[in-house]
Amino acid sequence: MTEHAGHAAPAPVRYCLLTTQRSGSTWLMSSLNAMPGVAGFLELFLPHTPAKDPAWLIDPHPPAFYDWDAAQTRRRPASTRAYLRHLGDWAPEARAVGFKLMINQGLRYYPEVPPLLRGQGYRLIVLTRDPMELAISRAFAQRTGISHRREAARPDPVRIDPAWARRDMRKRLREFRLARTLVRGLGFRAHWLDYSDLVREPEGQLRACARFLGLSHADPGNGSPLTKVVNAPYTEIVENYDEVAAIARELYGRPRDPA
């Protein structure tokens, strides 16, 4: 970690965006990072060295814990505790500093992180999304190899394997139940946000996030440079949409209207 002067300034609010893949978390985090006074880092607790994707890379950006920990003499969880405690060193002017954590990756590879976050006073922004939408978004990302876009594009139609879709939706439902258990069990101060609300009212939802982070009068800024990968009604680009929607109704009730 780098060292910075100016310790008289108040400590920034520290937060973690807890979510799952394909939830819109990169869009949200890059939007938060664009707000004056807010620093939003990406996935710091990956089980490998992260890829450097120029579409969303925030600069300066701290090294992932995986790389940082390799150079430490302390063992986990002591090294994890130190890493989280000094995260604000990478954005000394920010009044709120945070990163995003995937529910499945964070708890599988770094189970010490949630209690350390709670012990150090981190706040949680929990981002959810309809499991069927998550499965469709994941299917297109796998098909095209594109996770994030800067320009809108209409993808070619795709047929989604029903058995795969069922497994994927079940996984997402388990992850969101686990997130609720973590928030309640560890007593986190948490702000819940759903992707549908973020799409419908981005400016208002960003202002709500800023208020949760203690920035009551924050300007939403210029937002994220990214756009949706699947930018078309699902009924038109998922060849077997009715079959996928029927699985969603069976697992958790009626899915939302097609995006």
List, as one string, the DSSP characters of 206-230: HHHHHHHTT-TT---TT--S-B-SS
Cβ-based neighbours of 90, under 8 Å, separated by 6 or more = 1, 2, 39, 41, 60, 61, 62, 97
First CA to last CA distance, the chain: 42
Structural domain spans, the chain: 13-130+148-157+188-230
Q: At 99, is the secondary structure helix, strand, or coil?
A: strand
Q: pLDDT tens digit string along 51-70?
A: 766 555 577 789 999 999 99
Picking from 108-122, 141-155, 200-214, which range would have the lowest pLDDT averaged per residue? 141-155
pTM: 0.88
The backbone torsions φ and ψ at residue 107, rounded to the nearest 5 degrees and listed phi first, read -80, -25
pLDDT of residue 182: 94
Give the residue-averaged pLDDT of 5-28: 84
Task: Give strand pairing partners of 18.
Answer: 101, 126
CATH architecture of the domain covering 13-130+148-157+188-230: 3-Layer(aba) Sandwich (3.40)
